[in-house]
Structure 1
């Protein structure tokens, strides 16, 4: 059973573009990580100020391996050097119980 990890990051609206640019310029190594199944970066289009980083993994073990990898550290180097864009964050974790995709 796959798992989904969601990093819910509070970002001031005036920094939304900077937040998106940081993701666009990240190392991008996650797509090659063992067990990685998908990524989405979601920005609210209503009055909320919480952006969501959604990743899907084959297992909790694969996600934990990614979190402790050198590629993860490299992808987050900008955060360490330039400081965070967000003012708060929390990680949510879910089991994928059902998935539906459009029929061809």
Structure 2
């Protein structure tokens, strides 16, 4: 099992939109082969900073998801409309 931490900084005023989009993306995550759970966390000291933790059976399952058309469509939209910069991902192996 691996846990992936995905760090996002959103543009000012876009936090609610980011949270709504994550709620929609959870469906794609739950349908992804090897995905077990995901959670959205908001930084209490920076309202524009988020962390998504996502648990996977293995790292390859996560890599397959982030190269999928479903993930690419969401990230392209987010990059243009919501995000202040490129997301940073970190894989934690158990």
TM-score of Structure 1 vs Structure 2, range by shorter chain:
0.7 to 0.9
For residue 90 of structure 1, what is the aligned residue in structure 2?
88
Contact 1:30 1:71 in 2 (8 A): no
SS in 1 for 2:52: strand
SS in 2 for 1:86: coil
Normalised by the length of structure 2, the TM-score is 0.78
For residue 101 of structure 1, what is the aligned residue in structure 2?
none
Write the distance in 2 (CA, Å) between the matches of 1:15 and 1:69: 25
Return the offset for 1:13.
5.0
For residue 100 of structure 1, what is the aligned residue in structure 2?
none
Higher helix share: 2
Runs of 4+ in 1 over 3 A off after TM superposition: 74-78
Write the distance in 1 (CA, Å) between the matches of 2:3 and 2:88: 14
> Is 1:50 matched with 2:49?
yes
User: What does residue range 70-81 of structure 1 map to in structure 2 within 5 Å?
Assistant: 70-76=69-75, 78-79=77-78
- Structure showing greater radius of gyration is 1
User: Over the residues paired in the alignment, what is the CA RMSD in angstroms?
Assistant: 2.2
Normalised by the length of structure 1, the TM-score is 0.72
State the number of aligned residues: 92
